[in-house]
Amino acid sequence: MRSSRSHQRIEAAWEQNTRAAYEEAAWAHDALAPAQTTAADAQNKLAEAERRVNNLTARLGRLSVESTHKQAGQAVDNVRSSVTTVLNSYREYANLQMQGAAPGDAAGAASTLDLRRNELEQALEVLRRYV
């Protein structure tokens, strides 16, 4: 009986922590959309995103290991991989903006970023089933 309650507490804590990580990944999805901005704003947004995503990927790594369900752990891994890919795509896009690239020059990077954000959205939909 006692181990059952302990197991339930572990699962409840995992779900709560995963829900918080889910919300942070959803922030990355929404915040890292391509948008015309100043070089300074792009640099500030990139710095904030790098800090938040680095913290998030560390949290997701722990949650993946702590998962008691194989499919849930895989869903966490997929979000971790996808959010990192979105950050890398955003970094490319932001660097073009910081260099003062013309909007047409950044179109390819924006397109790639949108594609990566769509992949993150799909990974989040799968993770949502577990939280």
Q: What is the pLDDT of residues 72-82, one digit of tens each?
A: 999 999 999 99
Q: Collect all residues with Cβ–Cβ distance below 8 Å to 40 and sequence separation of at least 6.
A: none
d(CA 79, CA 81): 5
Between CA 19 and CA 106 the distance in angstroms is 34
Domain ranges of the chain: 2-128
pLDDT of residue 37: 80
Determine contact, residues 98/50, Cβ cutoff 8 Å.
no
- Name the nearest CA neighbour of 107 among 34, 22, 4, 40: 34
Residue 118: pLDDT band with limits 50, 70, 90: very high
- Identify the CATH class of 2-128: mainly alpha
- What is the amino acid identity at position 8? Q
Check residue 35 and give its pLDDT.
86
What is the C-alpha to C-alpha distance for residues 63 and 84, in angstroms, rounded to an integer?
16
Per-residue pLDDT at 2: 59
pLDDT tens digits for range 49-107: 999 999 999 999 999 988 888 999 999 999 999 999 999 999 999 999 889 887 777 88
100: left (phi over 0), alpha (psi -120 to 50) or beta: left
Q: How many other CB atoms sit within 10 Å of the CB of residue 3?
A: 7
